[in-house]
Amino acid sequence: MSDKRKGKLSGPIIRKAMLDSLVKLNPVTMMKNPVMFVVEIGMVLVLLLLLFPGFFGSRSGFGFNLSVFLILLVTMLFANFAEALAEGRGKAQADSLKKTKKDVTANKLVGGHVKSVAASELRKGDIVVVAQGEMIPGDGEIIEGIASVDESAITGESAPVIKEAGGDFSSVTGGTLVVSDRIVVRISSDPGESFIDRMIALVEGAQRQKTPNEIALSTLLTVLTLIFLIVVVTLKPMADYLNIHLEIPVLVSLLVCLIPTTIGGLLSAIGIAGMDRITRFNVLAMSGKAVEAAGDINTMILDKTGTITYGNRMASEFIAVGQEKESDLAAWAAVSSLQDDTPEGRSVIDYAKTKGFGFDRGLADGGGIVPFQAETRMSGIDLKDGRRVRKGAVDAVREWVLSDGGVIPADLEQKASRVASEGGTPLAVAVDNRILGVIYLKDTVKPGMKERFEQLRKMGIKTIMCTGDNPLTAATIAREAGVDDYIAESKPEDKIAVIRREQAQGKLVAMTGDGTNDAPALAQADVGLAMNSGTVSAKEAANMVDLDSDPSKIIEVVAIGKQLLMTRGALTTFSIANDIAKYFAIIPAMFMLAVPEMNALNIMGLGSPLSAVLSALIFNAVIIPLLIPLAMRGVTYKPMSSQRLLSRNLLVYGLGGVIAPFIGIKLIDLIVHLWI
Model confidence at 199, pLDDT cuts 50, 70, 90, reads: low
Q: State the average pLDDT over residues 518-529.
A: 86
Give the per-residue pLDDT at 484.
Answer: 92
Backbone angles phi, psi at 187, to 5 degrees: -65, 135
Q: Cβ(598)–Cβ(584) under 8 Å?
A: no
b/e code 588-597 from CB counts within 10 Å (16+ = b)? bbbbbeeeee
Q: What is the pLDDT of residues 98-109, one digit of tens each?
A: 665 666 788 898
pLDDT at 6 over 60: no
Model confidence at 4, pLDDT cuts 50, 70, 90, reads: very low
Q: Tell me how far apart the alpha carbons of residues 416 and 137 are, in angstroms, rounded to a whole number.
A: 53
Q: Tell me how far apart the alpha carbons of residues 461 and 561 are, in angstroms, rounded to a whole number.
A: 13
Which residues contribute to the annotated binding site for ATP? Answer: 340, 344, 372-379, 391
Q: Cβ(315)–Cβ(440) under 8 Å?
A: yes
Q: Cβ(376)–Cβ(388) under 8 Å?
A: no
Give the amino acid at 329. L
Model confidence at 454, pLDDT cuts 50, 70, 90, reads: confident
When the pLDDT of each residue in the chain is averaged and rounded to a whole number, the result is 82
Q: Give the residue with greater pLDDT, 92 vs 271.
A: 271
pLDDT at 2 over 50: no
pLDDT at 208 over 70: no
Q: Tell me how far apart the alpha carbons of residues 503 and 523 are, in angstroms, rounded to a whole number.
A: 13
pLDDT above 90: percentage of residues in the chain:
15
Give the per-residue pLDDT at 98.
Answer: 63
Model confidence at 647, pLDDT cuts 50, 70, 90, reads: confident
- Active site (annotated) includes residue 303: yes
Beta bridge partners of 548: none
Q: Tell me how far apart the alpha carbons of residues 521 and 61 are, in angstroms, rounded to a whole number.
A: 68
Backbone angles phi, psi at 511, to 5 degrees: -155, 160
Q: State the average pLDDT over residues 313-334.
A: 90
The CA radius of gyration of the chain, in Å to the nearest whole number, is 34
Query: Which range, of 176-185, 336-345, 598-607, averages the lowest pLDDT?
Result: 598-607
Model confidence at 236, pLDDT cuts 50, 70, 90, reads: confident
Helices first, then strands: H and E counts in the chain: 23, 20
Q: What is the pLDDT of residues 650-664, one digit of tens each?
A: 888 888 888 988 899
Choose among 102, 108, 131, 503: nearest CA to 297: 503
CA distance between the termini of the chain: 54
Helices (H), 156-313: 195-203, 212-241, 248-258, 261-280, 288-295
Q: Tell me how far apart the alpha carbons of residues 611 and 232 are, in angstroms, rounded to a whole number.
A: 20
Q: What is the pLDDT of residues 295-310, one digit of tens each?
A: 888 899 987 776 787 7
Q: Tell me how far apart the alpha carbons of residues 235 and 222 are, in angstroms, rounded to a whole number.
A: 20
Q: What is the pLDDT of residues 541-568, one digit of tens each?
A: 888 888 777 777 888 888 888 888 888 8
Q: What is the pLDDT of residues 373-422, one digit of tens each?
A: 767 888 888 888 888 999 988 989 999 999 988 889 999 999 988 888 77
Catalytic residue among 126, 197, 303, 550: 303
Q: State the average pLDDT over residues 241-255.
A: 82
Which residues contribute to the annotated binding site? Answer: 340, 344, 372-379, 391, 514, 518
Give the per-residue pLDDT at 220.
Answer: 87
Model confidence at 42, pLDDT cuts 50, 70, 90, reads: very high
Give the per-residue pLDDT at 128.
Answer: 92
Q: What is the pLDDT of residues 601-618, one digit of tens each?
A: 777 787 787 888 888 899
Q: Cβ(408)–Cβ(401) under 8 Å?
A: yes
Q: Tell me how far apart the alpha carbons of residues 530 and 537 are, in angstroms, rounded to a whole number.
A: 10
Q: What is the pLDDT of residues 46-64, one digit of tens each?
A: 898 888 876 665 666 788 8
Give the per-residue pLDDT at 206.
Answer: 44
Q: What is the pLDDT of residues 142-176, one digit of tens each?
A: 888 888 888 766 665 556 778 888 766 778 888 78
Model confidence at 5, pLDDT cuts 50, 70, 90, reads: very low
Give the per-residue pLDDT at 58.
Answer: 64
pLDDT above 70: percentage of residues in the chain:
89
